[in-house]
Amino acid sequence: MKREDAEKIYDLGKEAVVDLILQLVERIERLEEQLYKNSNNSSKPPSSDGLKRKPRTRSQRKRTGKKTGGQKGHKGKTLKQVSSPDEIVPLLVERCSCCGEPLDHHVFKGHDKRQVFEIPKISIHVTEYQAEIKDCPHCGKENKADFPEGVTHKVQYGNYLKSIASYLRNYQLIPLERTKEIFEDIFSIPLSEGTLVNITNKCSESLNEFNRWVINKLAHSRVVNFDETGVNCGGTLHWLHTAGTELLTSYFVHKKRGSKACDAMGILKEFKGTAVHDHWQSYFKYSCDHSLCNAHHIRELTFVHEHHKQKWAQKMITCLCELKCEVENAGTKGNLIEPYRMKYYESRYKRILREGFALNPPPEAENVKKRGRKKKGKVLCLLERLRVYRKETLAFMFNCDVPFDNNLAERDIRMVKVQQKVSGLFRTFSGAEQFCSIRSFISTVRKQEFNILDALERIFNGEQVYLKFNC
């Protein structure tokens, strides 16, 4: 705004000046809120905090009084000597280190053993299959022995090599060029980028049945965690959706973020259990039960307490955290908390909300009617959400299977964000779909505590290893 513009507003009178000041104050408050937000009091990722931000000392975690390091009873992983080493190198005593007396023919009285654990230099192992060809002396037909299943070309790579390539690309998130360098430097195999892409295509195609199987299992689970995040596909914003439990994971990429994507994923349409999510409104279109992530609530409440200095927010954080501890203690015995304790926490929850509404009344009606909804502010919106969705916020109190937060889905989706930071984007939509297919399998294998490389090799061998998974 130039000086002439300000003078024109001044000439319009008192009301124009007051309106301008109020607009500027509102804008300053909104910008200050954005500036104050960080990963501790909002949904912003820790990477957005920057390197200049001072480390925060406040935390929601309670002190346990335990010393740092391994706790009593912790199973250690110290390197120990083995009873049957692969190679023994004898070291002889030829002379006395004191007087120089020859000791070649003297009997030794024992050994001092030291073992070195080393990986031998890896070299490629080539297997040649020679199929005999014979003519039948009776009818003259030429007969040739059958090659093993999967051996279809004159020269080809084995399934374990393919599983290593898939592991590096889709689990360790190593880009094509660096994966190529790893194979050349470690295994002395000059793989091309085209070959690596073909291996990824083959792995994804082999997992079509698995993806249908895991979607069906999730659709019939009691509790499933859902989340979504933006991904770059060929320079265009797409959305990667995840659905998971403690034992299963499914990823799905779509152009949309809302119900169209959820319908295409194929889980929520048939789901009758409890969906745990972070209040994205599209989830509420489905008739299943819902549970909201209280980790999100606590971050928002932290912002209200620290930035707006409203004490009710800290009281609500304390209430939710105390309830979480009580529910977890009862859950270790397979029980819910007592009904009278449920009523106590519900009444305490409502009392804190009333205190919050008293400090944040609804906006007053204006004389001049304006189109659209009236601005309520983030604090009032949070209060109304906690009031309207009280049952969903406290769902973990009524059901032992429902978690306090949606951290499981956020952990599942975290490595996708790492992939985006490493590679910047998915070059094509089909590449994103292949990544989701393979990553769904790898994440599930990890949760099932199977060896990832062995599981991938069995998939390349045509085995349906996932049918042995626990659900």
Q: In which band, very low, low, confident or very high, does the pLDDT at 44 lie, cut at 50, 70 and 90?
A: low
Could you tell me if 392 and 290 are in contact, meaning their C-beta atoms sit under 8 angstroms apart? Answer: yes
Written as one letter, the residue type at 42 is S
pLDDT of residue 294: 96
Between 386 and 57, the higher pLDDT residue: 386
Angle between helix 339-359 and 378-388 (nearest 10): 150
Q: What is the pTM of this model?
A: 0.81
pLDDT of residue 377: 82
* Res. 372 pLDDT band, cuts 50 70 90: low
Average pLDDT over residues 4-27: 82
Is there a contact between 115 and 82 (Cβ–Cβ < 8 Å)? yes
Confidence of residue 51 (pLDDT cuts 50, 70, 90): low
Share of the chain above pLDDT 70, in %: 92
Closest among 55, 64, 43, 58 to 295, alpha carbons compared = 43
What are the pLDDT digits (tens) for 324-358?
999 999 988 788 999 999 999 999 999 999 999 99
Greater confidence (317 vs 377) lies with: 317
Say yes or no to pLDDT of 375 above 80.
no
- The whole-number average pLDDT for the span 289-301 is 95
Pairing of strands 274-277, 289-292: parallel
Q: How much is the average pLDDT of 304-313?
A: 92
Residues 286, 275: contact at Cβ < 8 Å? yes
pLDDT for the residue numbered 414: 92
Q: What is the pLDDT of residues 156-193, one digit of tens each?
A: 999 999 999 999 999 999 999 999 999 999 999 999 99
Q: Is the CB of residue 275 less than 8 Å from the CB of residue 289? A: yes
How many other CB atoms are found less than 10 A from the CB of residue 189? 18
Confidence of residue 103 (pLDDT cuts 50, 70, 90): confident
Q: Residue 100: pLDDT band by 50, 70, 90 thresholds?
A: confident
Confidence of residue 32 (pLDDT cuts 50, 70, 90): confident
User: Which amino acid, one-letter code, is at 319?
Assistant: C
Whether the pLDDT of residue 43 is over 70: the answer is no
Under the phi-then-psi rule, with left for phi > 0, alpha for psi from -120 to 50, and beta for the rest, what region is 347? alpha
Encoded amino acid at 451, one letter: N
Query: Per-residue confidence at 53, pLDDT binned at 50, 70, 90?
Result: low
User: 286: pLDDT confidence band, cut at 50, 70 and 90?
Assistant: very high
State residue 130's pLDDT score.
95
Q: Is pLDDT at 113 greater than 60 in this prediction?
A: yes
Domain positions in the chain are 294-362+375-405
Could you read off the pLDDT of 221-257 as tens digits, one per residue? 999 999 999 999 999 999 999 999 999 999 999 999 9
User: Residue 369: is its pLDDT beyond 60?
Assistant: no
Quick one: pLDDT at residue 122? Answer: 87
Q: Residue holding tokens 């955290």?
A: 321
Q: How many CB atoms lie under 10 A from the CB of residue 126?
A: 7
Res. 4 pLDDT band, cuts 50 70 90: confident
Instruction: Give residue 302's pLDDT band: very low, low, confident or very high (50, 70, 90).
Output: very high
Q: Could you tell me which residue, 461 or 10, shows the higher pLDDT? A: 461
195: nearest Cα among 209, 176, 222: 176
Encode the chain in three state secondary structure.
CCHHHHHHHHHCCHHHHHHHHHHHHHHHHHHHHHHHCCCCCCCCCHHHHCCCCCCCCCCCCCCCCCCCCCCCCCCCCCCCCCCCCCCCCCCCCCECCCCCCECCCCCCCCCCCCCCCCCCCCCCCCCCCCCCEEECCCCCCEEECCCCCCCCCCCCCCHHHHHHHHHHHHCCCCCHHHHHHHHHHHCCCCCCHHHHHHHHHHHHHHCHHHHHHHHHHHHCCCEEEEEEEEEEECCEEEEEEEEECCCCEEEEEECCCCHHHHHHHCCCCCCCCEEEECCCHHHHHCCCEEEECHHHHHHHHHHHHHHCCCHHHHHHHHHHHHHHHHHHHHHCCCCCCCHHHHHHHHHHHHHHHHHHHHHCCCCCCCCCCCCCCCCCCHHHHHHHHHHHCHHHHCHHHHCCCCCCCCHHHHHHHHHHHHHHHHHCCECCHHHHHHHHHHHHHHHHHHHCCCCHHHHHHHHHCCCCHHHHCCC
Given this model, what pLDDT does residue 62 score?
66
- Mean pLDDT computed over every residue of the chain: 89
pLDDT, tens digit, 9 for 90 and up, residues 428-441: 999 999 999 999 99
Who's near 118: CB < 8 A, 6+ residues apart? none
Instruction: Calculate what percentage of the chain has a pLDDT beyond 90.
Output: 68
Q: What is the pLDDT of residue 108?
A: 85
Q: Can you give the length of the chain in residues?
A: 471
What residues have CB less than 8 Å from 254, skipping those under 6 apart? 238, 239, 241, 260, 261, 264, 265
CB-CB neighbours of 259 under 10 Å: 16
Query: Given this model, what pLDDT does residue 454 score?
Result: 96
Q: How confident is the model at residue 123 (pLDDT cuts 50, 70, 90)?
A: confident
Q: Specify whether the CB–CB gap between 209 and 189 falls below 8 A.
A: no
- What gap in Å lies between CA 118 and CA 120, rounded to an integer? 6
Q: Which range among 182-196, 269-283, 366-380 shows the weakest confidence by mean pLDDT?
A: 366-380
